């Protein structure tokens, strides 16, 4: 099983189409599921990808437009019908909590789990830390308050070199200390440097989810060199004049952010329904940035370390 995968549930924009569903993405990190946005139909797409409701504990809302939120009452209702226990945390703004509480109190009164809210602000901040993952926000430029989310693995432990630990007769009780970077002191006082007994940890992986936003030249430095960048590509350059007033980006502009941030791969999405051929987004982005993935419902993207 891969440690870090991305499941696309919906990659369309606000106007409905028969081609794409509204925005929703699920990140699977070491068996723990994190949902970003929950457009209509998200729960059905979730089931089509054979994802487990019981492993979903966090939902991150980028903003409060309907195509990113309207699937949430249905999802919560389904979780209740399934008898899902424990708790689920919704990360949103104060006004999001107010509106969702009103909806849940009417339609989802009797849930066998706790619905918790983590109130976020449109600023750069770390909003969640687990044992293996950090999630931080970056403010975006849309028609309503909006943030993007950066998922970053925490540095792992160093790797033991078995042949060297055997040679230096390191006891098993010291292995945890070696993984944490400590030197080994032999009974006679000889110090064996850690770098002789271990090798560096595997590089940490990262994913950035940049939802609805007009092009922001300074956004790249806020994101940093992630392994996978999802950046909305609502429009093509031929409709650039529409993009900024509506708080959206073109495929070319998304590619500029990918290039300038040092991202390894750009994932397109949030396609306007005006376009019949999605491959146009890939072709336009590739004029600026070479590693482009064309998004679609059901796509599973594996975030892997470079060899």
68 Cβ contact list (under 8 Å, min separation 6): 22, 23, 24, 37, 38, 39, 61, 62, 211, 212
32-38 and 24-29 strand pairing: antiparallel
Count other C-beta atoms under 10 Å from residue 173's C-beta: 7
For residues 198 and 296, give the distance between their C-alpha atoms in angstroms, rounded to a whole number: 42
> By the 8 A CB rule, do 12 and 232 touch?
no
Q: First CA to last CA across the chain, in angstroms? A: 18
Question: Count H helices, E strands: the chain?
Answer: 10, 18
Q: List phi, psi (to 5°) of 146.
A: -145, 145
For residues 224 and 154, give the distance between their C-alpha atoms in angstroms, rounded to a whole number: 15
DSSP 142: S
> By the 8 A CB rule, do 213 and 249 touch?
yes
Smallest CA-to-CA distance from 51 within 20, 77, 16, 27 is with 27
For residues 107 and 195, give the distance between their C-alpha atoms in angstroms, rounded to a whole number: 58
Smallest CA-to-CA distance from 75 within 39, 48, 51 is with 39
Evaluated on CA atoms 130, 132, 136, 142, the torsion sign reads negative
For residues 161 and 228, give the distance between their C-alpha atoms in angstroms, rounded to a whole number: 31
Q: List phi, psi (to 5°) of 162.
A: -55, -40
Annotated catalytic residue within 28, 67, 212, 227? 67
* Annotation says 114 is catalytic: no
Which residues participate in catalysis according to the annotation? 67
């Amino acid at each position: 099983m891969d440690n870090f995968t991305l499941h696309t549930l919906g990659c369309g924009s606000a106007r409905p189409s028969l081609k794409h569903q509204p925005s929703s993405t699920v990140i699977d990190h070491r068996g723990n599921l994190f949902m970003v946005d929950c457009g209509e139909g998200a729960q059905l797409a979730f089931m089509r990808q054979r994802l487990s409701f019981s492993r979903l504990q966090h939902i991150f809302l980028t903003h409060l437009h309907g195509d990113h939120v309207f699937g949430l009452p249905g999802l919560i209702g389904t979780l209740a019908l399934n008898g899902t226990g424990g708790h689920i945390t919704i990360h949103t703004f104060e006004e999001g909590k107010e509106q969702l509480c009103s909806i849940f109190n009417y339609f989802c009164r009797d849930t066998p789990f706790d619905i918790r809210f983590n109130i976020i602000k449109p600023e750069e901040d770390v909003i969640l830390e687990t044992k293996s993952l950090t999630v931080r926000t970056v403010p975006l430029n849309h028609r309503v308050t909006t943030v993007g989310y950066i998922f970053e693995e925490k540095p792992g432990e160093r790797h033991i070199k078995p042949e060297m630990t055997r040679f230096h007769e390191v006891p098993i009780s010291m292995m945890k200390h070696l993984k944490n970077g400590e030197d080994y002191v032999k009974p006679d006082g000889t110090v064996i440097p850690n770098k002789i007994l271990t090798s560096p940890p595997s590089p940490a992986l990262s994913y950035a989810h940049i939802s609805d936003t007009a092009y922001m030249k300074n956004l790249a430095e806020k994101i940093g060199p992630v392994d996978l960048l999802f950046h909305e590509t609502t429009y093509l350059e031929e409709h650039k004049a529409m993009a900024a007033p509506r708080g959206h980006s073109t495929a070319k502009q998304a590619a500029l952010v990918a290039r300038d941030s040092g991202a390894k791969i750009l994932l397109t999405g949030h396609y306007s329904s005006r376009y019949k051929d999605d491959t146009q987004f890939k072709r336009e982005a590739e004029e600026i940035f070479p590693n482009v993935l064309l998004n679609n419902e059901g796509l599973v993207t594996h975030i892997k370390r470079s060899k």
